[in-house]
Homo-oligomer: A and B are copies of this chain.
Amino acid sequence: MRCMTPASTGPVSTGPVPIGPDLLACISRRAQTMTASAIREILKITQQPDVISFAGGLPAPELFPLDAVRQAAETALSKYGPAALQYSTTEGHLPLREWIAGRHGIPAANVQIVTGSQQGLDLLGKILIDEGDLVLVEAPTYLGALQSFQPYLPRYAEMPTDEGGIDVDALATLLAGLAAQGEKPKLLYAIPNFQNPTGRTLSLERRRRLVELTAQYGVLVIEDDPYGQLRFSGEALPSLYEIGLELAGDVDRNHVIYSSSFSKTLVPGLRDAWVEAAAPVITKLIQAKQGADLHTPTLNQMMITELLPLLPAQIETVKAAYRERGAHMLSQMDEFFPAGVTYTRPQGGMFLWVTLPEGVDTVALLPRAVENKVAYVPGQPFFALGGGANTMRMSYSSATPEQITQGMRALGATFREALG
């Protein structure tokens, strides 16, 4: 397994050394499987002037509490002095961990601060996934999770989903079938609230059944919950983590691991998120985090802590905006989309999911949409095992009413053309 070819076997030459043939051959096997995010590539073609894009997944920047963040930086630097800029503990800023732990009534020792929940997923992949381990994911699922897990070379199995998210009866059948083949999944990855990309939410009954089934079959669960606090309609539901806690009766025996973030409720650019897990998992997570970046930036954690009193009001602001934008997008879809095009009606979060009739290819359709000055993300990259060619994700979080109206009109026209 040679990577660079030796420059020469004789004496060292004095001119430029013919290194090669190819540094690429030095890249590890796991990294050979990495690709740039498909979305990232797609976003490039959508970033033309005058194109209204619903392709991104950005929180609304005009709602960021800019002055409060400025004040939080000031306060953290005054309160902690140089300690706000010094190396700090791998586990994270204790007052922040205590606040997070308080939400679920667990010890702060079970909370690890991470540099964005993307890092939480990467570290969980690192400490849990051996090459070839079977990972259960929703179809479709969060693309970023697939990117985080991929370097650890898992195999994927897709859980069937319907309008209510994961179909737990089908999951029971899947698990029984796998068990009959002697296959045991290592973990199940799920986003129960306002899923990215579909906007779907798992019912309480399904949550209970999912937690029981995974306990029964001995499958770890990673619950990714960045949007849970952004529910703008319907009743709040307990997390898989809380159900798991009740079932296990012991925080250190809960087989559900919880991941969440301040990116969607406060601001994403400070990169502050966390993982809650049983001691055997948290212990390894700390060790992995230490090797991965020592700790999350000190000042940022202190700033987020200073912003916590503002959080409830900020969440209300964000929810009100996303409720209005989501409702407006749906009303415009109702008005402009042709028959045969269906879409989800999220109860929170930032995304909804559009399904076109079978046979329509949303990747092929995108250049046409861009000509019509509107953009979306094709759904296909969100499927671990392919498929979903006739689907797309739309984000309403950072669009104005005018952009939504104009965009849905243009998209409706594009669909009509495609459907003949």
- Residues of A whose CB lies within 8 Å of any CB of B are 1-9, 12, 15-17, 19-20, 22-24, 26-31, 34-37, 40, 58-59, 61-62, 64, 66, 69-70, 73-74, 77, 81-88, 90, 114-116, 118-119, 122, 126-130, 133, 144, 147-148, 150-152, 184, 186-187, 212-213, 215-220, 247-250, 253-255, 263, 267-271, 278, 280-281, 284, 286-288, 290-300
Contacts and interface: CB of A to CB of B under 8 A. Distances in A.
A1 B130 contact: yes
Contacts of A128: 26-28, 31
B299 A3 contact: no
B122 A291 contact: yes
B255 A119 contact: no
Contact of A148 (B114, B268, B281, B291): B291
A118 B292 contact: yes
Given A271-B293, A297-B271, A16 B186 contact: no
A320 B145 CA distance: 47
A255 B22 CA distance: 10
Contacts of A16: 247-250
B248 A130 contact: no
A128 B291 CA distance: 16
A7 B215 contact: yes
Given A30-B126, A64-B82, A299-B270, A19 B253 contact: yes
B58 A81 contact: no
Contact of A269 (B30, B84, B148, B270): B84
Contacts of A90: 40
Contact of A4 (B69, B150, B220, B263): B220
A218 B2 contact: yes
Contacts of A293: 114-116, 118-119, 122, 271, 293
